[in-house]
Structure 1
Amino acid sequence: MLDALLITRMQEDMTAGLHETENEVAIATGADGLMALAMAQHRANFDLWHGEDNARVPDAPDAEIVRVKHAIDTLNQRRNDLVEKMDVWLIDRLEQDPAAPLHSETPGLMIDRLSILALKIYHTHEEAHRASATEEHRSRNASRLALLEEQRDDLAACLDALWSDVLAGRRRFKLYRQMKMYNDPELNPAVYGRV
């Protein structure tokens, strides 16, 4: 049901595919519920990453920055909604021991962190091999790349360990709603204060 190695491979392959095909990669058909959700969530992170890049383009017109920032808000909400959907999908298929110690981070949140690491690894690899960069820049990014890969491997092992503990009744997790307020016009004073 949950396999960190399959998830990290999907994220790595999808990241490369999205970059190589100019963002036109369809979600694979035949993926199970969790993998399809993880792929959609990774796509949201991919789009969010590049939206954040676009928000920092020097000399971009103010109207473009506003448009990009609104798109970032929408993408971030989608990302968080998909994290929750992954956790709900897993919870609905489990019989967790209510007496087991509670784990503070959910599998969905860990998959989200792995997704972000996949993007960091891809872009750091680019910088470590960029021909127009200095040798110092490439070397610094090669060191960063090794650290990011170690962090990804550690986090993937932690996800597998958590999942094993949950299945064995040694740990449990529960859904933590993000309850983002900035996108809700009734909860964001910068929005409702202007009406």
Structure 2
Amino acid sequence: MTASDQRIDLDANLIVQHQQELVARWHEQEINNPYTGFLQLVCQQHEHNFRLWHEEDVARSPTATDTQIAQVKRNIDRLNQQRNDMIEVLDDAITARLHAAAVDCPADAPINTETAGSTIDRLSIMSLRLYHYEEQLHRADADAEHKAKVAERIKICRLQHSDLTAALAMLLDDLFAGRKMHKTYRQFKMYNDPSLNPSIYQASKRIAC
């Protein structure tokens, strides 16, 4: 298959459009994933960020009990792990598309400082940020000073979102043209691995004794 065939659903503007639509939809109805192909993976990764965003809100509530905060902390750890895992899944899927398209990339081609999967993750978070800033802008109990501050931040966030979308589009073009090298960078998080986190494996030894 040609590079253009492999790029059908690997389009920066299409990805951010779906992320923004999903944020709005999931605030009104149950979370779902109606997509296939690469967009299905984008949606799955986006879901972890969506759930993570709202867990982070709960964690900072002044009325949350210690028990609630402890549970939320565990939820955040799990969702963060899933989110990071899905970044690698996105990058692996791009690797598979590049191989399927037989993209010829020189061994000395430059490597981007951030992978396409990581950029998609950042765009996911920015879509959530923009949605919630828009909520703040239209709060009935907000005063003019609050709304002015929020409006300025929305302006900046929209510019950042646009810049990052354009950067992703350029990176994908470079990858499929063989101008840049693509790799999946494994994060190898240690804190959720019972064999690598001292607080977990040492506690297990104490319990066993």
TM-score, normalised on structure 1?
A: 0.94
Extract structure 1 runs of 4+ deviating beyond 2 A: none
Q: State the AA in 1 paired with 2:38.
A: L
Kept after mapping to 2: 8 A contact 1:96/1:166: no
Matched with 2:148 is 139
**How many pairs are equivalent?**
191
Aligned counterpart in structure 1 of residue 16 of structure 2, from 8, 19, 22: 8
Corresponding position: 1:84 with 2:92 = no
Letter matched to residue 174 of structure 2: D
Identity of aligned residues (%): 46
Q: Provide structure 1 residue ranges, at least 5 long, that are not aligned to the other structure.
A: none
Q: Which moved more, 1:34-43 or 1:96-105?
A: 96-105
- Paired amino acid for 2:194: P
Q: Map of 1:99-178 to 2, 5 A cutoff?
A: 99-178=108-187
Look up the match of 1:36.
40
Verify the 8 A CA contact 1:54 1:68 in the aligned structure 2: yes
> How many angstroms does 1:37 deviate by?
0.4
* 2:60 equivalent to 1:56: yes
CA distance in 2, matches of 1:13, 1:96: 35
For 1:134 and 1:186, the matched residues in 2 are separated by 52
How many Å separate the matches in 1 of 2:159 and 2:104?
30
Larger CA Rg, structure 1 vs 2: 2
Residue 72 of structure 2 aligns to a residue in which SS? helix
Aligned residue for 1:108, secondary structure, equals: helix
1:169 positional shift: 1.4
User: Which of 38, 62, 69 in structure 2 is aligned with 1:65?
Assistant: 69
Deviation at 1:61, TM superposition (A): 1.5
Q: 2:4: which partner in 1? A: none
- What is the letter of the counterpart of residue 112 of structure 2? H
Uncovered stretches (5+) of structure 2, i.e. residues with no partner: 1-6, 205-209
RMSD: 1.1
Aligned-residue offset at 1:96: 4.8
CA distance in 2, matches of 1:25, 1:54: 19
- The alpha-carbon deviation at position 59 of structure 1 amounts to 2.5
Alpha-carbon deviation of 1:99?
2.7
Does the 8 Å contact 1:102/1:173 carry over to 2?
yes
Deviations 1:37-65 (A, max 9, x none): 00011010000000111111113121111
- Please tell me the residue identity of whatever aligns with 1:147: I
SS in 2 for 1:103: coil
* Counterpart residue type for residue 146 of structure 2: H
> 2:22 aligned with 1:25, yes or no?
no
Which one-letter code corresponds to 2:28 in the other structure? E
Structure 2 length normalisation: TM-score? 0.88
Amino acid at match of 1:192: Y
